[in-house]
Structure 1
Amino acid sequence: MDDFTATSSTPLTNPIGLHARPSVKLTRLAKTFAAHVEVATAPNGPWVDAKSIVKVMAIKARKGAVLHFRATGHDARAALAALQELVALDFHEDRVGHSDDGA
């Protein structure tokens, strides 16, 4: 079962894209799983190691891009579910003190 591979994709809705802080959050989360986790901005790659901050930051994905995830290992599904949730919640960026209400 260790060879199990799962894939998923999710739109990047974070207003400033996959910049430094979200990249760090994504990388830290990926490292909590035993699975080999990769990310790409196209369904066919190029794929980069989601546990490497340098490689994730090099993607330079902007708002509106689709992040594609691929994970191999016994906890592959859990890894992808957690990463999708992180992206869907805009990397918790709204909790940093930003406001879009114009106040």
Structure 2
Amino acid sequence: MAEPAPLIGRPSTHRCQAEVEVTHGVGLHARPSVAFTRLAKTFPCTIEVAVDGSGDWLNGKSIVKIIGARIRRGTKMRIRAEGARAEEAVAALSGLVRRDFDEDRKQGRADGRPV
């Protein structure tokens, strides 16, 4: 997967974008969507998400928008951020998606085996 790369823009604007594939078994159902939006809200920048090449950008901090997008396994998500800590936000959100929303850790051990 591509690492976050700065968007072309004004030098004074902090912008970043990355693409990541959703590998979680059922995609962004309720728990992963909550985890994604909760993390997104911790950053002061604007965060948007587009799926499978769509030109429509959704508010990445809106649980209604993220669940409503019906993002399934195998979907390619583009995550972009603009503003303070944009690079950090994109890296953190991309990492969360790559780690399957940390659901293995919530189920038990970090390796996914039950405790």
Question: TM-score w.r.t. structure 2 length?
Answer: 0.79
Q: Which runs of 5+ in 2 are unaligned?
A: 1-10
**1:2 Cα offset (Å):** 6.0
Tell me: CA distance 1:4–1:43, structure 2 relative to 1, closer, same or farther (3 Å). farther
Deviations 1:34-62 (A, max 9, x none): 11000110345311001110001111011
Off by >3 Å, runs of 4+ in structure 1: none
Root-mean-square deviation (CA, aligned residues, Å) is 2.0
Letter in 1 for 2:64: V
Correspondence for 1:46: 56
Higher relative contact order (CA 8 A, sep 6+): 1
Identity of aligned residues (%): 43
State yes or no: 1:21 paired with 2:23: no
Q: Which runs of 5+ in 1 are unaligned?
A: none
Correspondence for 1:6: 16
Count the aligned residue pairs.
101
Question: TM-score w.r.t. structure 1 length?
Answer: 0.88
Letter in 2 for 1:52: S
Alignment partners' CA distance in 2, 1:53 and 1:34? 17
